[in-house]
Amino acid sequence: MTELSTQQVRDIAVRCAGLGSLPSTVPRHPSVPSLLEELGAIQLDTISTLARSHELVVLARLGAIEGKREIESKLWTSPPTTFEYWSHAACILPLSSYPWFAFRRRSFRRRGIRWHDVPSKRILNNILKQLSEGPSTANNLGGAKRPGPWWDWSEVKIGVEWLLDIGDVVCTSRTNWRREYQLADESLLGFKSISQAPKSWITTDGVFGPTDDECLRQLLLASVAALGVGTLEDVIDVHRLSMHGLPRKGLSTLLHELVEERLIDSGTVAGWSEPVFIHPNALHHTHEDSVSTQLQRPPVMLSPFDQLIWNRERLERIFAMRYRIEAYTPAAQRVFGYFAMPVLYGQELIARVDPNKERKSGKTTFIARTVTFEKRPTAEHTRAIASAIISAGSWINADAYEVEVVSPASARSALVRELNKTPTQPT
């Protein structure tokens, strides 16, 4: 059984999250599609401060070498190479993983309800009839919103989302940030016809694809690979596999089968009460390797929905940072800011920066509403935070920087001095 230190786990977590090298000099991900394949899923969210979360995830790893339009055109391609579905949350996923979510499509069908009542067959049939004529947004199908519950969704929007849940409809593209729906067919499974599918694939609860156990084995294996190292709860959380009534005991059994087949390893981490599952590839690099490249790795600001930090309990266990997004907290009660982004420096999370942007007279200003040091400020960490802010500023083509509140306040002047070393002028 492999024994790991917390430092080793931290190194592995950073590397497996795609944050272990400098893209501009040592390209680790030659393209947005290959980044998505490696991460397995990128969470989507409507909040946009500097940019939307899926853009921030890509920018944190590839830098400003990819602009917003380029990112979106490579995530939502024609012909499609990705699809949107429920994974960790609402995510964009590689189309290659579509078959493995058959278990979730079946689960939705069995439950017959999401967090709302399923619309009438008349509404569902009308949606399917319209989509038989080609892809469409909810607006074009009959309207996305109405006064009332469920995010003010109309019956048409509720209906088409239900059809997406159960696999009759799929989303592989967007128009002006609106989902574009189309009828699902066998090509999503990677075949021209069902007859070409593996013999083990079956139709259960009206959904054709791998058996539920096949789906779960594949997703568990992919989850261990994405984490590098994780407890049972960590691994389950990647695709939220326990959300549909799947017993943890059954998922644990499947993971131990993968261990017995030597597809993954088991082990322990110093100070952790739970055993861990380890992907063999995670152990290929030693701690000394990561330290030797640490100075070449740029500090970077991470979206609150980034893979490295989306599991808050795991984040605290590995990086000793207690983090909660405060966008949904009343302004007067916020401590770190509306959209505070952790700053990754090497294998440490050293600060949080709550960013915003302002455009006036053709110029863009990056505004750091709050900057909070995680530890006692040092010159090294101050430089790293300034570097991360400047890097994030490059994502929005910032012409100037403003720094408002810094905690501790005594660190503000040093941070401003570091930012003053750039061609732009912070205040």
Report if residue 91 sits inside a domain.
Answer: yes
Q: Which two tokens stand for residue 145?
A: 């919103």
Cα–Cα distance measured from residue 277 to residue 259, given in angstroms and rounded to the nearest whole number: 8
Cα–Cα distance measured from residue 202 to residue 285, given in angstroms and rounded to the nearest whole number: 40
Cα–Cα distance measured from residue 247 to residue 243, given in angstroms and rounded to the nearest whole number: 9
Helices (H) and strands (E) in the chain — how many of each? 15, 17
What band does 426 get if pLDDT is binned at 50, 70 and 90? Answer: low
Together in a domain, 356 and 208:
no
What does the mean pLDDT of the chain come to? 90
Together in a domain, 168 and 47:
yes
Q: Which of 195, 188, 200, 146 is nearest to 164 (CA)?
A: 188
Report if residue 202 sits inside a domain.
Answer: yes
Q: Could you give the 3-state DSSP secondary structure of residue 65? A: helix
> Which position has the token pair 């070498």?
65
Cα–Cα distance measured from residue 97 to residue 219, given in angstroms and rounded to the nearest whole number: 9
Q: How far is residue 325 CA from its own chain's centroid?
A: 15
Q: What is the 3-state secondary structure (H, E, C) of 261-322?
A: CCCCEEEEECCCCCCEEECHHHHCCCHHHHHHHHCCCCCEECCCCCCCCCCHHHHHHHHCCC
Together in a domain, 33 and 178:
yes
Together in a domain, 328 and 195:
no
CB 366 within 8 A of CB 400: yes
Give per-residue pLDDT as tens, 322-332: 999 999 999 99
Give per-residue pLDDT as tens, 171-201: 999 988 999 999 998 888 887 778 888 999 9
Q: What is the pLDDT of residue 284?
A: 76
Report the side by side order of strands in the sheet with 90-94.
Answer: 42-43, 90-94, 82-86, 169-175, 178-183, 136-137
Domain housing 36: 16-213
Q: Could you give the 3-state DSSP secondary structure of residue 208? A: strand
pLDDT of 25 over the 50 cut: no
Report if residue 404 sits inside a domain.
Answer: yes
Report the side by side order of strands in the sheet with 341-345.
Answer: 300-301, 341-345, 348-360, 363-373, 400-407
Q: Count CA within 13 A, CB hemisphere, residue 112.
A: 3
Left (φ > 0), alpha (ψ -120 to 50) or beta: where does 190 sit?
Answer: left
Q: What is the pTM of this model?
A: 0.92
**Number of domains composing the chain:** 2
> Which position has the token pair 């590397």?
15
Pick from 195, 213, 231: which residue ends a domain? 213
Work out the average pLDDT over 105-120.
85
Together in a domain, 351 and 202:
no
What band does 24 get if pLDDT is binned at 50, 70 and 90? Answer: very low
Together in a domain, 67 and 204:
yes
Report if residue 184 sits inside a domain.
Answer: yes
Pick from 213, 246, 272: which residue ends a domain? 213
Report if residue 27 sits inside a domain.
Answer: yes
Together in a domain, 353 and 205:
no
User: Dihedrals φ, ψ of 332, to 5°?
Assistant: -65, -20
pLDDT of 148 over the 70 cut: no
Pick from 160, 183, 213: which residue ends a domain? 213
Report if residue 10 sits inside a domain.
Answer: no
Q: What is the DSSP track for 130-178?
A: HHTT--EEHHHHT-SB-SSSTTTB-HHHHHHHHHHHHTSEEEEEEETTE
Report if residue 148 sits inside a domain.
Answer: yes
Residue 195 CB-density burial (10 A; 0-12 exposed, 13-18 middle, 19+ buried): exposed
Q: What is the pLDDT of residue 294?
A: 44
Report if residue 244 sits inside a domain.
Answer: no
Q: Which two tokens stand for residue 179?
A: 């989902």
> What DSSP state is assigned to residue 246?
-
Q: Which of 128, 93, 48, 101 is nearest to 339 (CA)?
A: 48
- Bridge partners for 277 per DSSP: 230, 266
Give per-residue pLDDT as tens, 223-244: 999 999 999 999 999 999 987 6
Together in a domain, 36 and 184:
yes
Q: What is the pLDDT of residue 64?
A: 76
